[in-house]
Every structure is written in C-alpha cells, then in structure tokens.
Amino acid sequence: MSGLLSGKNIIVMGIANERSIAWGITKSLHEAGANLIFTYRKERSFNKLTQLLSANGIEPLLCVSCDVADDDSIEAAFREIQAKVPVIHGLAHSVAFAEKEDLQGEYVDTTREGYRLSQDISAYSLVAMAKECKKLMTEGGSIVTQSYLGAERVVKNYNVMGVAKAALEASVRYLADDLGKYNIRVNAISSGPIRTLSAKGGVAGFTDLFSAIQEKAPLRKNVDQDEVGDATMFLLSKLSRGITGEVLHVDSGYHILG
C-alpha cells in the first residue's frame, strides 16, 4: 500500500478523537503516502487532532476550521486550503449529527427542526463540500463519505439519521453523475457499528447491535476503524478508478442477511 497515494493531497474531515472513523482513515491514507489536510469543528477536536498527529509522526499540510452547517465557514476553509494547496485529489467526508432525542423512541415523533438539522449536517454537507472540492480537483479526484445500514433498512432508534443517510447515499449517486465528466468519483462506505463518540453517546441501544453482528454476520465479528480506513483508502486511490456512485459495505457481510 505504501506509495499508492504519494503526491496526492487529500482532505480528511471528522476527527473528534482516536476512536473516530476519520482517524482510522487518516492512518490508512498516511501509510499510503498521501499529503493530508484536516478540517475540524470544535476546539476540543482540534486539540485532540494535533495531539494525535504529533504522537503518530504525521505532518499535516494544513488543519483548518470548518463548520459544515455554515456556508461562510466552508468558504473560508476552502480559501485557506486553496492558498496553500491549489490542487486536491481526495476528500474523506466523515461527519454527521442529529439531536440525541431524535435517536431514540419513534421516528414518527421527529420534529421539523430535528429533521432539518440532521439532513443539513449529515447529508447536505457532502453536497456543499463536493461543490468546493470540484474547483480544486483539476486533476480529477475521489470523494468518499460514511453511511450506515439504517439508510436501507429500519434499524431501531437510528430513526432520523437513517433518513439522512438515505439522502446521503442518493446524493452520492447524483454527485457521481454530475462530477464523473471531470474525472471526479463519488462513493460511500457503509460501515458496521463502531464505538465512537457520536455513536456511543448518540444512538439509544447502540451496544445491542454488536452482539447481533458477532453472532450472525458472515464473518462473525464486528469491524473497526482500521478496516473502514483501508476500504476508504481503496476508494480514494487509483485501485478503484472504475468505481463511482457506489455504496461499499464494510460490515462483515451483515447487510446480506434477511
């Protein structure tokens, strides 16, 4: 894998701590030789990110603040990126958000504001980022986002986020069609559940999912950030150059079960 992404400039969004899926992605991309640009929202995430990078000997090209709920913040982030890195080749989008009260009980009780917020941050953000990336992906590129099975099926308590992930996966297909002519590919990974800050603190009954997968998934085990990181790296690399508009399941095969 070493050298597969040498000379490629890739933006990674969504590291809150060492358990984040985006941290697994970072390790895989670094190992493949990519130059990395990071975006963060909270100051706490920035502090964690800088600690993690220095502890792992990863020298970033840039770390920029970017709140995907705010167009001005996205534009400012890309101005800063463009000034330092005029051409980018990849984007790893690994951000989502819904209010805790919308990730329990019944979906029918979702509020208008809860629905809007989850769609905005978890689905529209990919569109907003793709629009900016397109301007800098002048040598072609690859965009990869993170989805979940709750987009395709009812997963208890995932509720409003399942609907946001369905919109995210549909966006992957529409964006893939728009951007293919610029040699920009757009794909999603649909990962099995992983114990991260958002997942543990957000989705009610989240830990129950693990035993079902351990027991029933074809591979009889849960996946981790490193497995998702490697699959994301594959979709960001030329090894996947014939693939776009795809949702690749990294879930020990759980999604094939009826």
Chain residues binding ligand NDP by CB under 6 A are 14-16, 20-22, 40-42, 45, 66-69, 94-97, 121, 146, 148, 191, 193-194, 196-199
The least distance separating ligand NDP from the CB of residue 49, rounded to whole angstroms, comes to 9
Identity of the residue, 5 or 161, whose beta carbon is nearer to ligand NDP in the bound complex: 161
Rounded CA-CA distance 18/243 in Å is: 29
Rounded CA-CA distance 26/6 in Å is: 14
The least distance separating ligand NDP from the CB of residue 9, rounded to whole angstroms, comes to 20
CA 36 to chain centre: 15
Q: Which two tokens stand for residue 92?
A: 């790893």
The least distance separating ligand NDP from the CB of residue 46, rounded to whole angstroms, comes to 8
Please tell me which residue in 107, 115, 158, 174 is annotated as part of the active site. Answer: 158
Rounded CA-CA distance 146/60 in Å is: 22
Identity of the residue, 67 or 169, whose beta carbon is nearer to ligand NDP in the bound complex: 67
The residues with which 188 forms a beta bridge, in sequence order, are 145, 247
Identity of the residue, 26 or 196, whose beta carbon is nearer to ligand NDP in the bound complex: 196
The least distance separating ligand NDP from the CB of residue 184, rounded to whole angstroms, comes to 20
Q: In the annotation, is 107 catalytic?
A: no
Q: Which amino acid is at 183?
A: N
The least distance separating ligand NDP from the CB of residue 94, rounded to whole angstroms, comes to 4
Please tell me which residue in 40, 124, 148, 254 is annotated as part of the active site. Answer: 148
Q: In the annotation, is 158 catalytic?
A: yes
Rounded CA-CA distance 97/141 in Å is: 26
Identity of the residue, 14 or 141, whose beta carbon is nearer to ligand NDP in the bound complex: 14
Identity of the residue, 21 or 160, whose beta carbon is nearer to ligand NDP in the bound complex: 21
Catalytic (active-site) positions: 148, 158
